[in-house]
Structure 1
Amino acid sequence: MGDKSPRQKRQNAAPGAQLAQGNGRPPNGTPRGPPPPSHSSTPDDETDENIFLFVPNLIGYLRIVLAAASLFFMPLHPRRCSFLYSISCLMDALDGIAARKYNQSTRFGAVLDMVTDRCTTTCLLVFLATAKPAYSWIFQGLISLDLASHYMHMYATLAMGGQGESHKNVSASRSWIMNKYYTNKAVLFTTCALNEVFFIALYLLCFSSPLITPALLPSAGLAGEMGHSPTTPHQPLPSLFFASPFSAAAMEMARANKMDSTVPWILTLASSPVMVLKQYINIIQMVKASRWLAEGDRRDRKKALVARGGRKGQ
C-alpha cells in the first residue's frame, strides 16, 4: 500500500470527527452542549406522584361525566337534566374539601375546576339561546362576559403575579369585592351556586311556564279552534314578552304540561339578584385584569425607554 495522503492522515488522527459531524456538530467546530434531559425519566426536583389520580381531580372527572350526561338529556328530559346538572355543580365544593383534606391542591386541579365550570355554564346558556332565539344575544353576551372575564383574570395573574400565584389571591387594595368573593368560601360558593340556580330555573320555565313558552298554552291560535293538541301549535298567538313563541320546549309538550312552574318561578326570582351580582363581579374582574396588564405594559415600556436612553448616552 502506498503512503497515505495528508487528508487521509488527518481523518485517521480524528476518527470521531465524522461521527461528531453526523450528530450535529456546528460548522465552526464548537462542541455541542449537553443533550436535553429525557422526558421519560423523573427529574430530581419532582415527585413520582400521579397528579391525574389525585382525589380532587377524580371528583373533577366525575363532574364532567355528570355534566355531559345532563347535556344529553337537556333537549327532552328537563327533570333528569336539571338533577344531573345540579349534582355536578354541587360537587364543585367537594373537590376543594378533598384537596385540603388530603393535601392535594394542584394547579392542574384548579384549571380543571375552572374549565369545567365555564364549559357547563356555557352549554346551558347555549341551550337557552336556542330555546329563546329572540333573546339569544343576551345569552351570547353572558357567555362572552364569563369567558373573557375569567381568561383575562387568569392571564393577568400568571403574567403579573408569577407562576406560583393563585388567581384567588386578590388583595383588598386592588378590589375589595373580588377579595371578598375569592377569599370567603361561603360567599364564593353561595354566589356561584345561586347563579347556576337562576339559569337552571330559567331552563325549567321553558318547559313549564306558558308565560315563557306560549306554545304550552292549552289552546294557541288556530290550534285551539281546530281541535289540535298543544303538541302541534300550528299558529300560536304571539307573546307580549317574547317575539317568537316557538322554542325547544315545544319538543316536549306532553312532559312539559305535567310540570308545575311554581318552584322554578320562585327559584328564578329569588336567585336573580345574585345572578346580577355575579355578572357585575365578572365585569369588575375583567376591568381590574385589564388595568393590571396595562400597568405591566407601562413598566415594560419605561424599562425599554431607559435602556434605549442609556445606549444613546454611551
Structure 2
Amino acid sequence: MNGVRSRRQASAEKDKSVAANGKSNGNSNGHAAVVPASDDIYPRENIFLFWPNVIGYSRIVLAIASLYYMPLHPRTCSILYSVSCLLDALDGYAARYFEQSTRFGAVLDMVTDRCTTSCLLVFLSTAFPRWAIVFQGLVSLDLASHYMHMYATLAMGGAETSHKAVDRSRSWLLNLYYTNKTVLFIFCALNELFFIALYLLSFSSPILQPSLLKPIASDAASSGLHAGAQINSSILRQIFANPHSAAALEMARANKMDSFWPWVLAGISFPVMFGKQILNVVQLVKASKWLAEGDVQARRAAGLPRRRR
C-alpha cells in the first residue's frame, strides 16, 4: 500500500509540474509549450546588404573612379580617393550603431584598404621611376605585414578572434594602434594623405618632376589623333571623357597646380607615415614570432624533434 501511495504522489507531482510549465509558457491546455527553433526566433538576414558592407562597396566604386582619373586629372582623382578613404571610418561607426559587425565586413575593409593604397603606390612608382624600388618595398611591406598578422590571429587566436584584438603583453604599440580609435584614424588618414600629397606633387613640383619644365610640343595635341577618328561620337564619350586623350593631356598641362599646399601636406603627414611603416614592421615581426611559437608547440605535441639513438 505504501508503494502504491508513493507512486500516486509522484504521478500527481509530475502532473502539477507539467501544468505549471504549461501556464508559464502561455499554454491553456496544460501541456508544455514547444520551444521554437533558433531559425524561427531570428529574422533572415543578408550579410552582403548590411550597411557597413554597402559602405564598403561604395568605397570600391569611388576607388575605381579615382583610378580612372588618376593619370591626368589630379583634382578629381584626389577628391574621389579621399572620400573613399574617409568612408573607412564611417563603416566602422555604422557597424557599431546597427550592430552589424561581421567577419566578411572586416575582411572587405582590410582588402579594400590594401588594394587602394597599393594602386596609388604603383602609380607613384611610375611617376617617380628613380624611387620605384621604395614604393615597391612599401607595397610589399604593407601586404606582407597585414597578411601575416591576419593569418597569425586566425591560426593562433582562433576563428572568433578579431585581428584588432592585440594583447598588450604581446605588443603595447599594436595594442594602442588597434584599440584606440583616434590613434588608428590619425595614422591611417595621414598615411594616405602623404601619398596623396606626393601624387599631387607629381603634377605640380618641378623639383620632383623636372619634365614639368619642358615646353609642350606643338603637335602634342594631334599626336593622339589619327585619320578618321571620330570625336564625341557617342553620348557615353561625351559624359565620360577619356583621361588618356591628347585633349585631356593639354587640359592637365594648361591647368597646372600650385605645389605649395601639397608640400605642406607632405611635410605634416610624413612623420606619421614613417611611423605607420614602423608599425608594419613591428606587426610583421610579432606575427612571425607568434606563428613560430605555435609551430614549436605543434612539433612538441607531435614528439618532434625525435631523439636520435
Class of the TM-score when normalised by the shorter of the 2 chains: 0.7 to 0.9
Select 1:98's aligned residue among 94, 101, 104. 94
What 5-or-longer segments of structure 2 have no aligned partner? 1-37, 222-243
The aligned counterpart of 2:168 is 172
Could you give the per-residue CA deviations for residues 148-171 of structure 1, whole angstroms, max 9, x where no partner exists? Answer: 000000000000000000000001
Using the size of structure 1 for normalisation, the TM-score is 0.73
The structure 1 segments of at least 4 consecutive aligned residues displaced by more than 2 Å after TM superposition are 42-48, 250-258, 306-309
- Residue identity (%): 66
1:45, distance to aligned residue in structure 2 (A): 11
The aligned counterpart of 2:283 is 285
CA contact (8 A) 2:299 2:305 kept: no
> d(CA) in 2 for partners of 1:65 and 1:179?
32
Select 1:58's aligned residue among 54, 60, 64. 54
2:269 matches 1:271: yes
Structure 1 residues 145 and 253, CA, compared in 2 at 3 Å: closer, same or farther?
A: farther
Structure 1 residues 146 and 307, CA, compared in 2 at 3 Å: closer, same or farther?
A: closer
2:186 matches 1:193: no
> d(CA) in 2 for partners of 1:308 and 1:133?
52
Q: What RMSD in Å do the two structures reach over aligned CA positions? A: 2.6
1:134, distance to aligned residue in structure 2 (A): 1.8
Could you give the per-residue CA deviations for residues 201-249 of structure 1, whole angstroms, max 9, x where no partner exists? Answer: 00000000101111112xx4xx6xxx957x79xxxxxxxxxxxxxxx9x
Name the aligned partner's letter for residue 296 of structure 1: G
CA contact (8 A) 1:153 1:286 kept: yes
The aligned counterpart of 1:77 is 73
The aligned counterpart of 1:139 is 135
Select 1:162's aligned residue among 152, 158, 162. 158
CA contact (8 A) 1:178 1:281 kept: yes
The aligned counterpart of 1:301 is 299
| Greater helix fraction, Structure 1 or Structure 2 | 2
How many correspondences in the alignment?
245
> d(CA) in 2 for partners of 1:97 and 1:213?
40
> d(CA) in 1 for partners of 2:305 and 2:194?
54
The aligned counterpart of 2:252 is 255
Name the aligned partner's letter for residue 80 of structure 1: T
Select 2:112's aligned residue among 106, 109, 116. 116
What 5-or-longer segments of structure 1 have no aligned partner? 1-41, 233-247, 310-314
CA contact (8 A) 2:203 2:256 kept: no
> d(CA) in 2 for partners of 1:252 and 1:298?
58
> d(CA) in 2 for partners of 1:262 and 1:285?
35
> d(CA) in 2 for partners of 1:252 and 1:213?
16
> d(CA) in 2 for partners of 1:293 and 1:46?
38
Could you give the per-residue CA deviations for residues 263-308 of structure 1, whole angstroms, max 9, x where no partner exists? Answer: 1000001100000000000000000000000000000111111797
1:255, distance to aligned residue in structure 2 (A): 2.4
Residue 302 of structure 2 aligns to a residue whose secondary structure is: helix
Residue 203 of structure 1 aligns to a residue whose secondary structure is: helix
1:84, distance to aligned residue in structure 2 (A): 0.1
> d(CA) in 2 for partners of 1:258 and 1:307?
66
